[in-house]
Copies of this chain bind each other. A is one copy, B any other.
């Protein structure tokens, strides 16, 4: 019997993504407490068994308490574990990733949050570099066959904006007419009647997601031959 073994530490980490200035960026926060106090790391925290219904609730609470953000797309990534990832001892961290439109973020960006391009992230404490890399991979992969990138846009958006956000997430250029055809077929979005965006040369129709739920396709949007 090994009932005497201490229990592992259980934490939650959140990778908060946004697209800003045409770049996919992740939010990092300067740690207040040890270990690694003062260093930039993922937003995270302990599971509070007295108040959290599950680790998803922990992630949502941590996002609210530490970044002041609510109502975001939030999904479990995977769990990272081991004896050495945290100096306090054998630990497991359930990682979540969240998507926030840059517009929502710019209203009130918390002072201690830094947005860093995912291609320019320095060495982070714990195994946070691995976690971020895994999250980026998941986002790029899932972005190619789901409505996921749309959660990086405000509730209403134009077709060029949608195409650009997909292109930025996937890191490729997208054929405009093929993209329109595909999005049309999939019936992902619907026009907002009578509304036009006027930020560019010619006003563009405004659309919104037809359903707030994440939807997946059966083919990838961009099918680069391997």
Residues of A that sit less than 8 Å from B by CB: 2, 5-10, 46-50, 53-55, 76, 78-83, 89-90, 92, 94, 218-220, 223-226
**Which 10 A-B residue pairings sit nearest by Cβ, starting from the closest?**
A49-B90, A7-B7, A54-B82, A54-B81, A79-B79, A55-B81, A218-B223, A218-B220, A8-B10, A79-B94
CA distance A10 to B89 in the complex (A): 14
CA distance A49 to B83 in the complex (A): 7
CA distance A5 to B83 in the complex (A): 21
Instruction: Decide: A48 and B5 in contact? CB cutoff 8 A.
Output: yes
Which B residues are CB-close (under 8 A) to A49? 5-6, 8, 83, 89-90
* 29 A-B pairs (CB sep. < 8 Å): A5-B46, A5-B48, A5-B49, A5-B50, A7-B7, A7-B8, A7-B9, A7-B10, A8-B10, A8-B49, A10-B10, A10-B92, A47-B81, A47-B90, A47-B92, A49-B83, A53-B82, A53-B83, A54-B81, A55-B81, A76-B78, A76-B79, A78-B78, A78-B79, A81-B94, A92-B94, A218-B219, A218-B220, A219-B220
Select from chain B the residue with minimum beta-carbon distance to A53: B82
Which B residues are CB-close (under 8 A) to A53? 82-83
CA distance A5 to B219 in the complex (A): 47
Which B residues are CB-close (under 8 A) to A79? 55, 76, 78-79, 94
Which B residues are CB-close (under 8 A) to A76? 78-79
CA distance A111 to B219 in the complex (A): 43
CA distance A112 to B27 in the complex (A): 49
Knowing that A5-B48, A79-B94 touch, tell me 14 more A-B residue pairs with CB under 8 angstroms. Answer: A5-B46, A5-B50, A6-B49, A8-B49, A10-B92, A49-B83, A54-B80, A78-B79, A92-B92, A218-B220, A218-B225, A218-B226, A219-B219, A219-B223
